[in-house]
Amino acid sequence: MKLVSTPRVEYLRTLAAEILNLNGRGRVIIAVDGADAATRTAFADELAAVFDEADKTAVRASLKFFQRSREQQAAFGAETPERFYRHGYDYSALRRVLLEPFRLGGSTAFVTQAFDPDRNTWIEPAWTTAPADAFLVIDGEFALRTELRDGWNYRILLESEVTSEADYLYQRENRPRQVASAVIDVSDAKAPQRVFSDSC
């Protein structure tokens, strides 16, 4: 479906073209990182829509649905931003049911959601497949942390005025700006701007 052209959509088309040029065939995983959850999710949704517009299969996922349960997190101590940053997510499950099977391609099925953090309950697995050439666009806070970054073909870091104590720890320890493929200022949601610096 043809999207309505706006400065934001045109920017996303340019970004998608860059990603396609770098990763034209096979299974490609794109991470969208950033402290503002709503902005991050909307950006990832719209990037996937731009791939669909170009007749490229795009699968959406979010790290939100790979969090540990409240009971599992409680095993690591009192509820604090640092506990959530260090122990809030089940990256083993993420790799096992989504990243690794998606990478395998072929008829191997994968799962895009494992846990509902709002209801604190596991989600019945919905196994799905994709064609040989497909893009997985996955958004989530802390997505460019050291233990995950090698899993992504292209790494996007969205910057805005939103921050948190957990994000401060993440920025200090992982320096995601230094490993991002693209750092994008989304302070003006209608007109994202690429940020270029020596640390990119």
The secondary structure of 66-81 as a DSSP string is GBPPHHHHHTTSS--H
- The single-letter DSSP state of residue 102 is H
CB-based burial, 141-160: b 16+ in 10 Å, e otherwise: bbbbbeebbebbbbbbbbbb
pTM of the predicted model as reported, rounded to 2 decimal places: 0.94
In the chain the domains, ranked by start, together with CATH numbers, are 7-195 (3.40.50.300)
Q: Structure tokens of 48?
A: 């996937």
Q: What is the pLDDT along the chain (200 residues), one digit of tens a residue?
A: 788 999 999 999 999 999 999 987 899 999 999 999 999 999 999 999 999 999 999 999 999 999 999 999 999 999 999 999 999 999 999 999 999 999 998 889 999 999 999 999 999 999 999 999 999 999 999 999 999 999 999 999 999 988 899 999 999 999 999 999 999 999 999 999 999 875 44
Burial category of 13 from C-beta neighbours within 10 Å (exposed 0-12, middle 13-18, buried 19 and up):
middle
* Helices 7-22 and 37-53, axial angle in degrees (round to 10): 70
40 phi, psi to nearest 5 deg: -65, -45
